Structure 1
Amino acid sequence: MGRGVEVPVESPGPAFPRDLPPVELRMLGPLRLCRHGAPRELPASRKVRGLLAYLALAPRPVPRGQLCALLWDVPDDPRGELRWCLSKIRRLVDEPGAARVVTAADTVALDLSGCAVDAGRVALAARRGVAALATAELRALAGAFAGEVLEDLAIDRSPAFTAWLTAQRRRFRACRAALLEELVGRVPDDERLGLLEPWLALAPLDPRVHALLLAALARQGLAREGEEHLAAAVRLFEAEGLDAAPLDAAWRAARDRREGAPPARAAAPEAGRDDAGPPAPRRASVAVMPFADAAAVIGSRGGTAHALAHDVITRLAKLRTLLVIAQGTVFALDARRVGPEEAGRMLNVDYVVGGSVRRHGARLAVAVELVEARTARIVWAEVFDGGLDATLEVLDAIGDGIVASVAGEIEACERNRAILRPPHSLDAWEAHHRGLWHMYRFNRPDNGLARHFLEVAVGRDPTFARAHAALSFTHFQDAFQGWAPRERAADLAFAAAGQSLMADDRDPAAHWAMGRALWLRGRHAQSLVELDQAVALSPNFAQGHYALAFVHSQTGDPEAAIASSDHSRRLSPFDPLLFGMLGARAMALVRLGRFEEAAEWGMRAAARPNAHAHIQAIAALSLALAGRLDEARAHLAVLRRDAPHYRAADFLAAMQFAPEGVRLFRDGAERIGMG
């Protein structure tokens, strides 16, 4: 059953449906409702209309208690008032055989299957990516905006609803801007001005819009209008404390192109320099906007929400893999009431993190979204929840979850984007992520391709520490999997890790790579020192915690291995190396003699995508030690299907167990004839 707007409520097409849907809800402007094409008068109650809009935009069923807290301050009978409002909505949308207000298990949902919801179409297009839309569909969606979202709707003394409505308006302004931006890039010149003006109204401080508008005016020979717009834009930027020089440069460049003049010469380099130097290496950029506090007094600053944003900014910066906009900048924009999506466009970043903090009795809920700035596409969204009895611990755990998820989702987006680009066109950043895409396939041919792209990355940017670290991992894989002579591959892994440290010894991945390379050389104590340094530099570096679990599971402290494995999985529950995190825990449990637990964790590891032969061996051997011989032999059969000549000696040669661990795993191998 489709509910809310996060599911397709109608088939995409060049225009909105004209076949008179049973219910048509218009929210991109004043709230309007039609039944089979006939307008219906909405109830006078603002709370009924607010509840209708909220349920229409909710992605899933909403608890009744949440709806009561949203719309009523301190009513005598909130649930009674909610029932009354729902009865009014039923009269609007229900019809024989179609009960659209769905109540179940103390939740409420609005089933809009087969209906037309203008905001739903826009939200769906933004989620899929506006670049994928046909031009006619872009025009239809951009033209569907009749004003501000729910512009005639406001509810006094309902701060939670007001905060939600503000967030929705920001969200759909960003969607509209993304639609207009994509459309501007496709239409001929004579249509652009008509699109640039509403886009500019949505994003008056976005220098790209001004540059496009100035270019359009220049191409049409409207020099006076261009000068007037430039003067007004400069005054606006200067009043906001922003640099207006790029606007003037954009106008001069557009005018020169119109007049056929040669481009203006670059400013002379600073004294004492031969040239301006190479451009800074590209990195994905992210802005973390201060979270909204639903309980805060309007205009107030500080508190839990702002502290959490500051913490996330600091932790993301410690990962060293992203360009993170400084706290002062994002907090200054927030003070000017600039929303996350508009801030992302002003700052010209790739991604924006925004969210809200809400207290429900003795619990704290933090809703977070990661948005692709230029397309307004929501890449990831999650709600983190915890008790307020230990606020600092809860905030620390929530911060861990946000940072690890944001970093992981951005990396996945960048990998997927890089794999679609022609190989010859990749810059260092893209080549690095193309390499990661292949590296995480965990097979020999892809590992070779990964090494090729990572060598391209470090060749184009020798200072790219993270690419050197990943290159080291491809050599580690060659040694660990037996795809190349172990000693030679270990030397190459060590050398690449050294290059990573020289490039940036504050990057946790550089120490992670060195720790793994030292482990290959049998220098376990030094390996742990490097891995401890990796997680000290960035406590949110999940793969650092996993590598600690891996080393401890064989020759170190098995209890520490279990703790590190658990922590790495909490930080990155969908990590490409999740099978290794689970496998390390299983090996540690074997060393502790807890064979039944080890068998369960080993099977979980073997069930993960891309689990390689050594992981399958952990499952088979753990099951054998637990006495579950039939299951162990079944796992061994799966292993031998992919690696027919695999033996216990291959497993023990790859790992570096202490003598007691070697004895245990040999015993398991003998029980199932794996010798």
Structure 2
Amino acid sequence: MEQLVSVGASVETHVESARASLESTAAGLSVRLLGQLAISRDDMSVALPASRKLRALLAYLALAPHPVGRSRLCELLWDVPNDPRGELRWCLSKLRGALDEPGRRRIETEGDTVALRLAGLGIDAVEAAAAVAEGIESLGLERLRTLSHLFTGDFLDGLELDRSPHFNSWLTAQRRRFRSCHVAILEHLIGLLPAESDEAGAYIDKWLELAPFDSRAHLALLENNARRGQIGACEEHLAAAARLFESEELDFAPLREAWQEIRSRQSSATPPVRSVPAFAVPQAPVAPAEPETSATRRASLAVMPFVERAGTADFRGGLADGLTHDIITRLAKLRDFFVIARGSVFALAEKDISPEDAGRRLNVDYVATGSVRSLSGRVIVAVELVEVRTARIVWAETFEHRPDDIFVVLDDIGNSIVSSIAAEVTTVERNRAMLKAPNSLNAWEAYHRGLWHMYRFTRTENELAHQFFDMALKQDPTFARAYAGLSFTHWQNAFQRWGDRDHEAALAFETAGQSLLVDEHNPAAHWAMGRALWLRGERDGSLLELERAVDLSPNFALGHYALSFVHSQSGDPRSAIGSSDHSRHLSPFDPLLFGMMGARAMAHARLGEFAEASEWALKAAARPNAHIIILAIAAHCLALAGRQDEARTFAAAIRKTLPDYRADDFIATFRFDRDAEAMFRHGARRIGLN
């Protein structure tokens, strides 16, 4: 039987419905799911039949993002009784009686599906999930207080069902998810309150109750008590916390050291800091070799062991464990962020610790979880990526393949998962950095701010990117990717003729070399060096560096693209097409997608496949950030395909910006072999660019 519903999808109920629930005061109808289920209309309790399955059905429909099939609901709630559909009809009729209003039907059926219409209906769990989905960190103090008061108990407190394993599995996942939401709300709420206030203290106590192994919660309590001069209470709490951590074989030394810093700060009467300290407290089993300072911080990620789903049971091992190990290894090879080692995440999973709790124990920014299901004729892998501090699902996807060769299938799915996780983390970090004042950025944030500007592909934005990469390196001279970014800006200056080509090529080579000196195992460093060598006309050396980049990290999409770029001009055009396709498969929404398509267009042209070349060139030129050189590829390929009118349109667009642009400029931009140069000059003559 297929997975009934993904946990992420059910919690992340579409925002439109959630907003509708927030506007429910006019109707006066509300449902409480965070605690014991209850329904009220105009502050008066609405009676429900005693049926536990009726209550379970209401909760499930409330969080379902789409109408649910009747057969799925029967499988979820009934252990093959005599007439499951008859029982479902009875439950739906009773829910209609409780929820429907004159002129408004809440329970709607269409065909074989059932849905709960949320417009004008206040549901506490939906409201909390919507706040998390839209970003807890952006909410004000009063809004956070209101949200915290929604949590009167566990999700559907006391509503387990006998002989309903699918529902109980869903219920467990929802309880973990909403507990994590509650913790995230409390943490951000405490951060907005005076550190020593009684209100903050009450919220901290609740935080510790929900997440007793969260180091940040313990630090918040120590800070709160220390501000009020309760050093003795701090020492007592520290001793109790030490025993708690040791019982779970977690290293307590970092927390003890953090307490010494708090106490020292209080003794020296240093101006107070926020209630949740900015310094990190990593657990010993997963800490970096050297503690990270604020300046050298990187985003961190834990990939929890995937679960194998079979029938009504979940288990560990087999394909799921193999896929988890592969994903962890591939992500670590990217060297773009800190990835928790396999041993640590598997050890926590053995203790049946939820992914959200594990993320807080490991003190990471993101947690990835997933499941594997093998069915007749297909393998289904569901994955989601959660931002730990906000409990927000930033990405969720389901991959489905025919298991013709299971190892090839898992390799393909693993590629997609790794590339998607890396891209989503980069996007979230880049967007967060864009919201901060430039003078408050640490090295990691400055680097991602630089990426944002770099991918605008204009001279002004390239200069801004250069400044932010330089800012990152001043704070962290060991940041290999920031050197690679700096090399990229010089490469763009040379490639786009925004500066003296020889001088900028020399700087691109120099900064790529610095990236390699810092971390010779970083694929981005070899990528930068490969591109710099191409600028210098050293094709063979360029290919060696780029092949080294993808050998180090087979999931490094930009490395595969750069190989395609070099081969498309004077190397193997068939290889260029394969590398272009692979780079787009790994990163289908990449900012350099226009380049991947443009390289394929030039490779087709060199093979005499002008129709294909023109189609790929048009796709490249249609990308929103495509620059003049991409338009020039389109003009030449269209001319070679005999599509002169379209080609002349692109030529005219180029000359609006560069009135003197000619074939010589196009040829000088690239490193074509003699045959390719002659071919493109022929195309240029057809449309007057010679």
What TM-score does the superposition give when structure 1 sets the normalisation length? 0.90
> Per-residue CA shift, 1:51-109, capped at 9, x if unaligned?
33223212344456655554456577777766665555444444454344455686554
Q: Which residue of 1 aligns with 2:619?
A: 604
**Structure 2 residue matching 1:532: 3-state secondary structure:** helix
Q: Could you tell me how far apart the structure 2 residues matched to 1:653 and 1:410 are?
A: 37
Q: Which residue of 2 aligns with 1:53?
A: 59
Are the counterparts in 2 of residues 215 and 250 from structure 1 also a CA contact under 8 Å? no
Q: Tell me the CA shift for residue 198 of structure 1.
A: 1.0
Structure 1 residue 193 and structure 2 residue 201: aligned?
yes
Structure 1 residue 205 and structure 2 residue 213: aligned?
yes
Inter-CA distance 102–537: structure 2 relative to 1 (3 Å threshold): farther
Inter-CA distance 662–282: structure 2 relative to 1 (3 Å threshold): same
- In the TM superposition, 1:435-474 aligns within 5 A as 435-474=450-489
Q: Could you tell me how far apart the structure 2 residues matched to 1:391 and 1:76 are?
A: 39
Gap runs ≥5 in structure 2: 1-9, 272-289
Q: Tell me the CA shift for residue 347 of structure 1.
A: 1.7
Give the letter aligned to residue 123 of structure 2.
Answer: V
Structure 1 residue 497 and structure 2 residue 505: aligned?
no
Q: Could you tell me how far apart the structure 1 residues matched to 2:84 and 2:409 are?
A: 30
Q: Tell me the CA shift for residue 37 of structure 1.
A: 4.7
Q: Tell me the CA shift for residue 603 of structure 1.
A: 1.5
Q: Which residue of 2 aligns with 1:182?
A: 188
Q: Could you tell me how far apart the structure 1 residues matched to 2:600 and 2:203 are?
A: 57
Q: Which residue of 1 aligns with 2:132?
A: 126
Which has the larger displacement, 35-44 or 422-431? 35-44
Give the letter aligned to residue 104 of structure 2.
Answer: A
329, 348, 354: which is aligned to 1:314? 329
Q: How large is the RMSD of aligned CA atoms in angstroms?
A: 3.0
Q: Which residue of 2 aligns with 1:33?
A: 39
Q: Tell me the CA shift for residue 216 of structure 1.
A: 2.0
Inter-CA distance 151–539: structure 2 relative to 1 (3 Å threshold): same
Q: Tell me the CA shift for residue 153 of structure 1.
A: 2.4
Inter-CA distance 3–231: structure 2 relative to 1 (3 Å threshold): closer
Inter-CA distance 429–253: structure 2 relative to 1 (3 Å threshold): closer
- In the TM superposition, 1:487-566 aligns within 5 A as 487-566=502-581
Are the counterparts in 1 of residues 181 and 390 from structure 2 also a CA contact under 8 Å? yes
Q: Could you tell me how far apart the structure 2 residues matched to 1:396 and 1:308 are?
A: 8
Are the counterparts in 2 of residues 4 and 109 from structure 1 also a CA contact under 8 Å? no
**Structure 1 residue matching 2:399: 3-state secondary structure:** strand
Gap runs ≥5 in structure 1: 264-275
Q: Tell me the CA shift for residue 394 of structure 1.
A: 1.8
Which has the larger displacement, 249-258 or 192-201? 249-258
Q: Which residue of 2 aligns with 1:267?
A: none
100, 111, 116: which is aligned to 2:117? 111
> Per-residue CA shift, 1:562-603, capped at 9, x if unaligned?
111111111111111111111111111222222222222212
> Per-residue CA shift, 1:528-571, capped at 9, x if unaligned?
22111111111100111111111111112222111111111111
Q: Could you tell me how far apart the structure 1 residues matched to 2:657 and 2:109 are?
A: 50
**Structure 2 residue matching 1:388: 3-state secondary structure:** coil
Q: Which residue of 2 aligns with 1:159?
A: 165
**Structure 2 residue matching 1:34: 3-state secondary structure:** strand
Inter-CA distance 593–259: structure 2 relative to 1 (3 Å threshold): closer
> Per-residue CA shift, 1:258-297, capped at 9, x if unaligned?
666899xxxxxxxxxxxx9995932111111112333388
Q: Which residue of 1 aligns with 2:244?
A: 236
What TM-score does the superposition give when structure 2 sets the normalisation length? 0.88
Q: Tell me the CA shift for residue 17 of structure 1.
A: 6.2
Give the letter aligned to residue 224 of structure 2.
Answer: A
Q: Could you tell me how far apart the structure 2 residues matched to 1:313 and 1:462 are?
A: 27
Q: Which residue of 2 aligns with 1:136?
A: 142
440, 451, 456: which is aligned to 1:425? 440
> Per-residue CA shift, 1:208-258, capped at 9, x if unaligned?
211221232333344554444333222111111112234444555555656
Are the counterparts in 2 of residues 21 and 37 from structure 1 also a CA contact under 8 Å? no
Are the counterparts in 2 of residues 616 and 639 from structure 1 also a CA contact under 8 Å? yes
Are the counterparts in 1 of residues 296 and 475 from structure 2 also a CA contact under 8 Å? no
Are the counterparts in 2 of residues 285 and 322 from structure 1 also a CA contact under 8 Å? yes
Q: Tell me the CA shift for residue 50 of structure 1.
A: 2.9
Inter-CA distance 155–223: structure 2 relative to 1 (3 Å threshold): same
**Structure 2 residue matching 1:554: 3-state secondary structure:** helix
Inter-CA distance 103–223: structure 2 relative to 1 (3 Å threshold): same
Give the letter aligned to residue 341 of structure 1.
Answer: E
The alignment covers a number of residue pairs equal to 660
Give the letter aligned to residue 548 of structure 1.
Answer: L
**Structure 2 residue matching 1:156: 3-state secondary structure:** coil
Which has the larger displacement, 143-152 or 302-311? 302-311
Q: Which residue of 2 aligns with 1:342?
A: 357
> Per-residue CA shift, 1:302-359, capped at 9, x if unaligned?
2222222211111100001111111111111112222222222222212221223334
Q: Could you tell me how far apart the structure 2 residues matched to 1:624 and 1:38 are?
A: 75
Give the letter aligned to residue 437 of structure 1.
Answer: W
Give the letter aligned to residue 628 of structure 1.
Answer: R
Inter-CA distance 83–358: structure 2 relative to 1 (3 Å threshold): farther
Q: Could you tell me how far apart the structure 2 residues matched to 1:129 and 1:395 are?
A: 33
Structure 1 residue 381 and structure 2 residue 396: aligned?
yes
**Structure 1 residue matching 2:310: 3-state secondary structure:** coil
Inter-CA distance 252–49: structure 2 relative to 1 (3 Å threshold): same
Q: Could you tell me how far apart the structure 1 residues matched to 2:666 and 2:336 are?
A: 34
Inter-CA distance 507–58: structure 2 relative to 1 (3 Å threshold): same
Are the counterparts in 2 of residues 3 and 113 from structure 1 also a CA contact under 8 Å? no
Inter-CA distance 259–565: structure 2 relative to 1 (3 Å threshold): closer
Q: Which residue of 1 aligns with 2:422?
A: 407
646, 661, 664: which is aligned to 1:631? 646
Q: Which residue of 2 aligns with 1:582?
A: 597
**Structure 1 residue matching 2:151: 3-state secondary structure:** coil
> Per-residue CA shift, 1:626-667, capped at 9, x if unaligned?
333333333333333444443332222112222232233223
**Structure 2 residue matching 1:355: 3-state secondary structure:** strand
Inter-CA distance 357–150: structure 2 relative to 1 (3 Å threshold): farther
Are the counterparts in 1 of residues 308 and 314 from structure 2 also a CA contact under 8 Å? no
Give the letter aligned to residue 609 of structure 2.
Answer: R
Q: Could you tell me how far apart the structure 1 residues matched to 2:565 and 2:654 are?
A: 21
Are the counterparts in 1 of residues 11 and 174 from structure 2 also a CA contact under 8 Å? no
Q: Which residue of 1 aligns with 2:499?
A: 484
Inter-CA distance 120–495: structure 2 relative to 1 (3 Å threshold): same
Inter-CA distance 74–428: structure 2 relative to 1 (3 Å threshold): same
Structure 1 residue 216 and structure 2 residue 224: aligned?
yes
> Per-residue CA shift, 1:111-159, capped at 9, x if unaligned?
3123212111111111222121121111110011110012232233333
Q: Tell me the CA shift for residue 3 of structure 1.
A: 12
Give the letter aligned to residue 681 of structure 2.
Answer: R
**Structure 2 residue matching 1:378: 3-state secondary structure:** strand
Q: Which residue of 1 aligns with 2:3?
A: none
Are the counterparts in 2 of residues 5 and 57 from structure 1 also a CA contact under 8 Å? yes
Q: Could you tell me how far apart the structure 2 residues matched to 1:488 and 1:176 are?
A: 55
Q: Tell me the CA shift for residue 161 of structure 1.
A: 2.7
